[in-house]
Copies of this chain bind each other. A is one copy, B any other.
């Protein structure tokens, strides 16, 4: 009986770690691994994409949140990581005009490390797609697409997101 309980506990822990750890998610083609605990990060902003019919949450790790609240975001400090979580949107069935999350689409990360990513504005880029979190990109060159899109934001440290103002 004791052995059964121990085995059950171990299986339970293993199952829990599959959900909560990012270690089982394949890294992006440039070697960036999914940061642990991003689902628990705090809110930096929200947004929507009319062209893609998506709503999004932009979350930050502790370094990013501290920088956002102190207004030190141009440039963002080394160690800051932001996650942009995207869902398809759908109209609420009981509230016309309200749009809410439908299917999960992807989660994207930008990782600030000036020494490590000198060729892409000091940022490392990574994206995982769908509930299965498939790494985006055929090889490490996928970051050229990311950086090209972010280049118009050079004057804002290559970042589209500006922290939402909280009271």
A95: Cβ under 8 A from any B Cβ? yes
Q: Contact: A165 with B101, CB < 8 Å?
A: yes
Q: Is the interface of A mostly helix, strand, loop or mixed?
A: strand
- Spot the interface stretch: A6-14, A43-51, A118-126, A140-148: A43-51
With the chains together, A111 CA to B25 CA distance in Å?
36
Does A76 have its Cβ within 8 Å of any Cβ on chain B? no
Please give the count of copies of this chain that the complex contains. Answer: 2
Closest to A38 in B: B166
Q: Say if the beta carbon of A72 comes within 8 Å of chain B.
A: no
**Which among A46, A55, A94 has the greatest number of chain B C-beta atoms within 10 A?**
A46
If the complex has contacts A39-B166, A167-B107, are A46 and B50 also in contact, measured as CB distance less than 8 A?
no
Say yes or no: B165 contacts A100, CB within 8 Å.
no
The residues of B that contact A99 with a CB separation of less than 8 Å are: 47-50
A interface residues with partner B (beta carbon < 8 Å) = 39-43, 45-52, 55-57, 59, 85, 87, 89, 92, 94-95, 97-101, 103-104, 107, 128, 130-133, 152-153, 160-162, 164-167
